[in-house]
Amino acid sequence: MDAEIISIGDELLIGQVVNTNAAWMGEKLSLNGIRTSFVSTVGDNRDHILKSISNAAERARIILLTGGLGPTKDDITKSVLCEYFKTDLRYDEEVLANVTRLFKLRGRSLTELNRRQAEVPANCQVINNEMGTAPGMWFEFNGCILISMPGVPYEMKAMMQNSILPELSKRFGEGVIIHKTLHTVGIPESFLAAKLEEFEEDLPENISLAYLPEPGMVRLRLSAFGHNRKALTELMEEKLKTLVNLAAKYIFSESGESLEEAVGKLLLVSNSTLSVAESCSGGYLGSLITGIPGSSAYFMGGIISYSNQVKMQWLGVNGENLEQYGAVSEAVVVEMAANAREKFGTTYALSISGIAGPGGGSNEKPVGTVWIGISGPKGTKAEKFSFGEDRKLNVRLAAVTALNLLRHEIMPYVTKS
């Protein structure tokens, strides 16, 4: 069963508002076994709305509209729907009662504009809007369902969850769709694809694998389509097991958690603590780690040693090493990590020093050169990485890579216990 979404509103076309509604609806529909095949975004423009509806009606049996239902002049969805269905507006007493109730709740009195929100196309069934004054509308025609909702996210979501999704799933929820996403780190998309080529070729027609790359990471999404939930779940689990085996080293999450969340859990279960010593990343690694609620249980703190003076004074980095090898060197990140670990009294310490760019690069150490150090019960070591030319991206990649080094360092302990 295919659905289409039509998002209406000038503010979406000029980028003033990001279309999060469509993403949310697509996800909910998919979880209810309904596949979204198209999303169209159009302005508050009669011709464009009409054209989108007729295009959608040719292709899909469920059409979901959002937006253009407000009381102001630029909102024209209702009159366009009347035109499309060759019908007129009727006055709906229940909607008026709801509008009156909401205004009373907010201690305001109704204006004529608000009253007009109770007008709906004669051929629709009204969907109650618990959160706002614009009613939802359900139309059936030529074997098609068209549903018009307000564009205000929380009003749309309440309507979808309370009325629309239950009804759609009751009527059409035959097919079964299962998605499963694995999060990987430390391997580029093309290398991962090469590893999984055979697996992908052997997949049955109703299972597909998608690669969703992000800086330093790739999400792998396995999607299965079928009719028998039990059989599909079993097939999916079998394929998933093979996939997990093939990419085990790189997978940090099978449940959607972020890398910093996964590493935080490893620290928690291994009863370990962490500190950081950051040069070029300037606090970004710390801010990632502390972005996770409860991180104070394992993260003690860190030093942003942006200047050489701070590296020496606060972290006891040897001035001769700075002189001889430079701040971006194995010797310095090793000292940064080892001394941070000692001074903060933590189980592990991570250190980062690199040339984020755009300036500061040389032939020997071009922009993107980053040394990452890790100190723990097994000792201290460092690794050199060559990222790219973009400052923000280099910082992001340095932090992700540091977290991944820590993940690998803790993993054996966790697995053993």
The minimum distance between CB 87 and a copy of itself, in angstroms, equals 25
Q: Of 89 and 131, which has the nearer Cβ to a copy of itself?
A: 131
The minimum distance between CB 384 and a copy of itself, in angstroms, equals 9
The minimum distance between CB 25 and a copy of itself, in angstroms, equals 7
In a 3-state reduction of DSSP, which class is residue 273? Answer: coil
The minimum distance between CB 416 and a copy of itself, in angstroms, equals 28
Q: Of 42 and 331, which has the nearer Cβ to a copy of itself?
A: 42
**358 prior amide bond cis, ω within 30:** yes
Q: Of 145 and 196, which has the nearer Cβ to a copy of itself?
A: 196
Q: Of 91 and 154, which has the nearer Cβ to a copy of itself?
A: 154
- Spell 263-278 as b/e; 16+ CB within 10 A means b: bbbbbeebebbbbbbb
Phi/psi for 50 (5° steps) reads -60, -45
Q: Of 60 and 331, which has the nearer Cβ to a copy of itself?
A: 60
The minimum distance between CB 121 and a copy of itself, in angstroms, equals 21
In 3D space, the residue among 24, 16, 19 whose CA is nearest the CA of residue 8 turns out to be: 19
Q: Which amino acid is at 268?
A: L
Long-range contacts of 338-343 (CB under 8 A, 24+ apart): 338/373, 338/375, 338/380, 339/277, 339/315, 340/275, 340/276, 340/277, 340/302, 340/303, 340/315, 340/375, 341/275, 341/375, 341/376, 341/380, 343/275, 343/315, 343/316
Q: Of 5 and 338, which has the nearer Cβ to a copy of itself?
A: 5
Could you tell me the sign of the dihedral formed by the alpha carbons of 6, 8, 12, 14, in that order?
positive
* C-alpha span between 290 and 292 (Å, rounded): 5
Contact 171/140 with Cβ under 8 angstroms?
no
The minimum distance between CB 415 and a copy of itself, in angstroms, equals 28
CA terminus-to-terminus distance, the chain: 48
Write the DSSP assignment of 150-199 as a string of letters: -SSHHHHHHHIIIIIHHHHHHHHTTSEEEEEEEEEESS-HHHHHHHHHHH
Q: Of 10 and 87, which has the nearer Cβ to a copy of itself?
A: 10
The minimum distance between CB 282 and a copy of itself, in angstroms, equals 3
Q: Of 153 and 325, which has the nearer Cβ to a copy of itself?
A: 153
The minimum distance between CB 412 and a copy of itself, in angstroms, equals 26
Phi/psi for 377 (5° steps) reads -60, -25
Write the DSSP assignment of 340-387 as a string of letters: HHHHHT-SEEEEEEE--SSS---SSS-TTEEEEEEEETTEEEEEEEE-
The minimum distance between CB 303 and a copy of itself, in angstroms, equals 6
Q: Of 166 and 213, which has the nearer Cβ to a copy of itself?
A: 213
Q: Which amino acid is at 380?
A: T
C-beta neighbour count of 332 within 10 angstroms = 28
Q: Of 36 and 351, which has the nearer Cβ to a copy of itself?
A: 36
The minimum distance between CB 322 and a copy of itself, in angstroms, equals 14
Q: Are strands 217-226 and 176-185 parallel, antiparallel or unpaired?
A: antiparallel
Tokens 């977290």, residue located = 403
